[in-house]
Every structure is written in structure tokens, then in C-alpha cells.
Structure 1
């Protein structure tokens, strides 16, 4: 057989190609079997948590209209309610109701002395030469809830702070390079209004390098999409504040005193985000409302509900999310991030004089290293830590909590559009109507996205 010098005979090359594809197929089959095995064990664990009387019946037979795509009538849910006992498992997990005393068990922890770069450990550095990374008024997609200067905030220094890790430098933001990372892909943020703020920040960071006729935004809905035609890429936000199905899933009408979740139902939401290339999840504040949450299990007879504390409900919902990740995510194809708690700054006595103030009129960051306020719930941190530890490399943690703790100056306070009506007493007392939960843009969420950019 004649051969060309330096090249193997064609049959040898063909054998090599065949061996490569067979090996690739077997590897992916092995990954799939491992995922299915873990998902099966999680399903058994989740089923054991359900104490509804008809657990032996097929789950397929009992799926609600939401699972099949229809509209579920939440007004008819929970005709009867019973309390859910936390039991030994809940006590071991630290899910018992906390009193008024706050134990800042994480505040005294220090990272190990190491030369390893930790992007999440550092300080805020004033930098009015490079920051902000965009202008509030030049971003046509800015939200009135986050446009603090537009709504009268007199200072702008909150826009000039740069996050500086202690032992390394954060990769400098480059919008064009980020679009190259996203070329042909879907980046989807999933969660509540804080995650929506991070999505808006990302859109504002990216949109300026896209010509006007090459970009568009869909109308606000459950799934809102910013599309860059040139890159065939999209940056999207899906409203799912509790991750699983709930009666708060309307992106506009969700302020309900009677909160109900379906703790074992996530498929309806996942149908919108399941084919994304990059997923960024969050879930935190909605579990801390202080009121009990009703649980409507898929196989509950006659719509009967259990009732439990918010953190126990969160644990059940995150276990369903965990099961979905194990069952549906191939880490070789899809990147998944989970954003940790976004702190609130509701009590100024935690960082300064013992007054009755909050974030109102705060204009500089907290400089005490490792400061930790009661706006970051350590019980939720334990729940999330346990879930993410089991998921391992399938999910990357975007740990924004400590760096955001320092930024008592970054909230809208009274400088945003409010949809509720305030009393005359509240109008005379700005502290009483200050938003110390969300973040002004440009501002803190831009740093979260710089970290996301560095980790991609």
C-alpha cells in the first residue's frame, strides 16, 4: 500500500477516529448514568419528606394543570391546612425559628492565610477614573427602580468604587470580550428582583458596543430577552423568585400575604431556562418574609396544604432545584452559577451609632473588614452551602455576600420609583420608606457581573 511520507495509512487513521468516537460515547454514557443515579437517590430523599396521605399513588396521575402547561387556579388551593413538623432533621439543620438575637457566627471567621487568589475577599477602592463602567442615562434599558440619580439622589460617589481582591487583580471588564464568550449562547438569570437587577446591570454593561439596529429587548414578562443579532447571543431574565412554582410567579402581581409554593414542581419554570448555555440562579429574601409558607405537594388530595416556616420551605424548594440540576445539567455543556445572599442594611446601629436609621443618607462603604450584619441570614447560608456541596463542580458559587455587606451606601433608599402610596407620616420620615434591599445602578451589581465575567 502506498503512503505519503509523514502520514499514517488511511486505514490506521480510520481506526483512530472510530476509537475516539467510541470512547467519547462511552464517557458521556457514564456521565449520564452517574447523573441519573444521583437524581434517583435525591428523588427518593425528597419523596420521604412528603407527609401527604396519598404518597403511594403515581406522581404522574396527580400532576396539576401547571405541569401540563395549563393555568393553575391558586384561589382554590389549600382548602385545608395542617402544620408541618420540622422533626429531627429540621432541628439538625438549624431550621428552628430564631428569636430576636442575632448570632453572627460567620463574622468572626477569617480566610486561611494563603497566597491563593480569592476573588471574593478584598476591599472597595475609590476609583473615579475608571468607574462607573457605564452611564445611567446612556443605558436605555435602565430600570426606574434602580436609577437613583434620575430620581433625585444628590451624590454620585457610590458609582466610583471598584472591588479589589486582596491577593490578585480582578480581570478588567471588556464588553466585546464578554460578547465573544456569549457568541451563539443564551445567558439566563433566574430568580427575584435582585437577580433582575444583576441582569439589568449586565445588559447595561454590554449594550453600548452593539449598534442600535443589531439589538432589541422583548417586552417585560416572565421571560425577558435582550438579543444581540451580530453575536446570535441573548442575555435573559426569568422571573421565579422561589425557583419552584408558586402563587407569586406573576412578574407584576406577586405581592401576596398568603404565599403558597409547590415544593416538588419546577418543570414549568425549567421549560423556559432548560436549554440555556449559562444559568445564573438566586433565591434568598422571599424566604425571610417572617410569615409561614403553605406547601401544596403534587400528590396532595383535594388541594390540601401543609404550612411551615420560610426556611424549611426554602430547603425543600432547593432540594427540588438540586434534583433538577443533577437530572438535566451536563457540566461539559452548561455552566451554572448560584449567587449567594444579597445583604440588606436596615439597621444603622449595626455599623455606627445606636440610632434608628438605616441606609438612608449613607454615602460611603463600611471599612471594617469582615463586617457582617443581620441582613445576611447565616441559617440560609448553611442550607445553601449543603446543597452546593452536594452539587460539586456542577455549580459555581458567585459569592457576593461579604463584598456587598460593606456597601451600605449602594441602596436606592428613597431615590427610586415607588409603586406603593405612602402616608403623610412616611413622607415626613424618609427612613420609614427607604429601600435598603435593592441596589442603585451603576453600582454594586456591576461588580457581581465583573466576577461572573472573570469566572466564565
Structure 2
């Protein structure tokens, strides 16, 4: 009896030792397998799938999965209970340049080469990644070209994580922007941007990128060549034009929020200000007058097509030379569609006469007003980069009006809507030089910022 009990005890002890040995072996094997995995790959394995923040049109994966399920943890690869302090990027460089903390290096990825030609790349699909080389210029500098109201480094804002992200397309390489190389490529050429204040932001961003934010006394103001002088009674011209003499490269912007011709109407004695006929079927006169001088053209419009802007600007919509009676919101949406198609159609008809011209229509820059509009308490207080996701997988544009307008034409779609929709933390928000309480700007972007990525894509497209 005693001998049987000893055999049972020894057998049980042997089984326990064997099980412990097997478990230990498995743990060591698993550790050896994973210890060589790069942090960014582990982070990728832990991160939830791609999401979006675009309010107007949801991102849809190729397989038809609805990706409109944003999560604050999607870029950080941790659960959503992580504190705000631990999610923020760490910036404390007195020079104004950003320093990325160790906890964020998992999201840093090198630019990888691809077999696909960058000009044929679908740059709309990709993701935002950290880049220590960003920003390309200082927000404290570029004073000649950067408006102070958009230089968030000059405001009360203290977080600048949004400056250190770059856009990486999924299937190709987006080369780093090199100012000297860009100017050589654009030697003896004129780049024209025509559009609203978001177009002006892209223009200022490009000027800062080319000059690296430094003062350049050699850059010539040639606005007078294009009629861009300050009109009597105005505080600024309708646009700006600058020339880099070493390469004879001209970069200009002309303000035309609607892209259609505005014609002063005969002023009535009872009115202090003059109404303007907004000809939906006529492109802005500046385009018709100077198109032959352009080598690259970027058009944009969008955020002035609402009843408030039309009334404030005293625009009265005209078609075929006669006023449109109904100015309801439905008619305004139709008017925008009509104008975009009309301008693109006209531009396409002109391209055979200007074979040197490369023409682009830039899509809508997204707004991020939450809980209201700009005048009803709308806010964009988020400061955490990519809190709603880092990727865009959709194939179609989130600006269907622009996409349909260029279809079948020689005008190329310059689509920045999807990639910009993920960057709600990059807006001016409540920060300003004067710190006006109660009003937030969730339309315009801080510079340096998201428009720099637009220009990096633009430099590749041309």
C-alpha cells in the first residue's frame, strides 16, 4: 500500500516537472520570436483598424466595411482609458522645432521606395506618420509671407504635435520636399493658385517651404505684372505674386472665392454699398486675362457657397446675364455645382491652346466644427493628433462635386479632402493673437501644418 502511494506521488511529481519544463520552453520561445519585432510593427498589430473623421462623407474600405467608427485610441495602440497627458506628444525645444518623445517613436516610419511611379500613385490612400524632419520651416519665421493670424506659434497655443506629421501614401513614395530641387524643376515657369482663403493658405505654405521660412531679399514682388495692386480704399491687393530670380520661377495667388466673374451692379441711391452680379456661367476675369502666362494652375472653391456669405459679400447670382430669383440654400448648392462644372469645362476647352499648362482642381478642405457652427458655439478643441484614426483607404473622393466635374477632362483632381479630414487638431481653434473669446476657427489651418502636406503632394504631381 505504501509502495503504491510512493509510485503515485513520484508519477505526479514527474508530470508537474514535465509540464513546468514545457511551459518554460514555450515562454522562452515566444520571447525570442517577438523580441526582434520592431516597435512600430508591434504597435501596428495592437492598433485598431482604420477610421475617419469626415462628417460629410464616410470613409469606406474597399470591401464595403463602414469605417465611420472613430476611436481616440486608434493611433496610439492603447486602450481608450489612457490619460490625456500620456497621449500628448512632448515638445520643449526652445528653438520652436519639435522633439518627439520616446513613447511616440513607435509610429515613426521611414519613407520606403516603391516600384510604382509617384506620378501614377493614388496618393489619396495612405496614412499619417511621425517625421522628425518636420516642420519644414519655423512658425516663428516666414514673416514676409505667413499671415500672423495663421502662425499658431505666435498665439497662446502650447501644443504643436500637429507640426510633426507627414502623409505617406500606401503604395508609393512621397519624396521629401527639397526647395532647391523644386525651383530648378519650376525654372522659367509660373505657378498660379486661384481660390478662397484656403487657397491663400496653400500659397503661403508653399512660399514658406521654398524659402525655408527665411527672409529672402532677392525674391521680387511682381504683383503689378498681374494687376495685383492695392485698389483705392482697400487694405490689401486681390492677390500676390513673387519671383525667384535665380530660376525665374513665379508663384502667385489670386483671391476668387467663387471662381466666377463678379460684376458691380448700378448702385441704387438708397444703398450705401454696391451689389455684385455673381455670374455662375462665367469664369473669373483674372483667369481669362492671364491664363496664357501660367504653367501650373490650381483652382479651389467651396466654403463661400452659403446664404450668409452671399449676403455679406452682396453677391446676387446671375445666369445667362439675368438674376436668379430664388436664393434658397438648395439653389446655392445647385449654383456651386453648376459653377464648378462650368469653370472646369471652360478650362478644359482652353488647354489645347496652352499645351504647357498643367491644370488642377483642388477638392474641399474639410471643416471640423463640433457642437455648432462658427457663430453658434462650434468648437474644435482636440489637441491629440489622429485621435479619430490615421489612415484613408477609400478610392472615391469625399468631394463628389469636384470629382464629377473633372471626369473626362484634362483637368486633374487634386484631392486633399480625405487625408485632411483626419487632422481636426490642426485648426486655428480658439487661439489667436488677440484671443477673441467665444469664437473658434475650425476652418483654417495652423501654419506650419496640414497645407504643407498638400504642397508636398503637389510637388510630386507636377
Deviation at 1:185, TM superposition (A): 1.0
Deviation at 1:397, TM superposition (A): 1.5
- Conserved 8 A contact 2:282-2:343: no
Q: Would you say 1:437 and 2:415 are equivalent positions?
A: no
Q: Secondary structure at the match of 1:198?
A: helix
Deviation at 1:399, TM superposition (A): 1.0
- Conserved 8 A contact 2:126-2:391: no
Q: Secondary structure at the match of 1:212?
A: coil
Q: In the superposition, relative to structure 1, how do residues 294 and 439 fare at CA in structure 2: closer, same or farther (>3 Å)? A: same
Q: Would you say 1:139 and 2:142 are equivalent positions?
A: yes
C-alpha deviations, 1:340-378, integer Å up to 9, x for none? 1111111179xxxxxx87312423223425679xxxx96
| Aligned residue in 2 for 1:193 | 197
Q: Secondary structure at the match of 1:315?
A: helix
CA distance in 2, matches of 1:147, 1:398: 25
Gaps of 5+ in 2: 1-53, 65-113, 224-228, 230-235, 265-272
CA distance in 2, matches of 1:342, 1:176: 28
Q: Secondary structure at the match of 2:348?
A: helix
Q: In the superposition, relative to structure 1, how do residues 264 and 155 fare at CA in structure 2: closer, same or farther (>3 Å)? A: same
TM-score under structure 2 normalisation?
0.62
Q: In the superposition, relative to structure 1, how do residues 289 and 126 fare at CA in structure 2: closer, same or farther (>3 Å)? A: farther
CA distance in 2, matches of 1:295, 1:104: 25
Work out which of the residue numbers 425, 433, 439 in structure 2 matches 1:409: 425
Aligned length: 321
Which residues in structure 2 correspond to 1:343-354 (within 5 Å)? 343-347=366-370
Q: In the superposition, relative to structure 1, how do residues 136 and 111 fare at CA in structure 2: closer, same or farther (>3 Å)? A: farther
Deviation at 1:414, TM superposition (A): 2.0
Q: Would you say 1:316 and 2:338 are equivalent positions?
A: yes
Q: Secondary structure at the match of 1:178?
A: helix
Q: Would you say 1:307 and 2:327 are equivalent positions?
A: yes
Q: Would you say 1:297 and 2:319 are equivalent positions?
A: yes
| Aligned residue in 2 for 1:449 | 455
| Aligned residue in 2 for 1:108 | 60
- Conserved 8 A contact 2:196-2:257: yes
C-alpha deviations, 1:17-63, integer Å up to 9, x for none? xxxxxxxxxxxxxxxxxxxxxxxxxxxxxxxxxxxxxxxxxxxxxxx
Q: In the superposition, relative to structure 1, how do residues 273 and 146 fare at CA in structure 2: closer, same or farther (>3 Å)? A: farther
C-alpha deviations, 1:106-150, integer Å up to 9, x for none? 4224389x99642121111122x2000111222121112210110
Deviation at 1:437, TM superposition (A): 0.3
Q: Would you say 1:182 and 2:186 are equivalent positions?
A: yes
Deviation at 1:319, TM superposition (A): 2.8
| Aligned residue in 2 for 1:365 | 386
Q: Secondary structure at the match of 1:333?
A: coil
Question: Which of structures 1 and 2 has the bigger CA Rg?
Answer: 2
Q: Would you say 1:263 and 2:269 are equivalent positions?
A: no
| Aligned residue in 2 for 1:335 | 358
Deviation at 1:325, TM superposition (A): 1.0
Q: Secondary structure at the match of 1:214?
A: coil
| Aligned residue in 2 for 1:225 | 241
| Aligned residue in 2 for 1:151 | 155
TM-score under structure 1 normalisation?
0.63
CA distance in 1, matches of 2:357, 2:422: 32
CA distance in 2, matches of 1:115, 1:213: 41
CA distance in 1, matches of 2:300, 2:59: 22
- Conserved 8 A contact 1:244-1:269: no
Deviation at 1:230, TM superposition (A): 1.5
- Conserved 8 A contact 1:370-1:402: no
| Aligned residue in 2 for 1:386 | 404
Name the Cα RMSD after superposition. 3.5
Q: In the superposition, relative to structure 1, how do residues 181 and 289 fare at CA in structure 2: closer, same or farther (>3 Å)? A: farther
CA distance in 1, matches of 2:432, 2:305: 24
Q: In the superposition, relative to structure 1, how do residues 320 and 137 fare at CA in structure 2: closer, same or farther (>3 Å)? A: same
Q: In the superposition, relative to structure 1, how do residues 130 and 223 fare at CA in structure 2: closer, same or farther (>3 Å)? A: same
Deviation at 1:203, TM superposition (A): 0.3
Q: In the superposition, relative to structure 1, how do residues 347 and 298 fare at CA in structure 2: closer, same or farther (>3 Å)? A: same
Q: Secondary structure at the match of 1:246?
A: strand
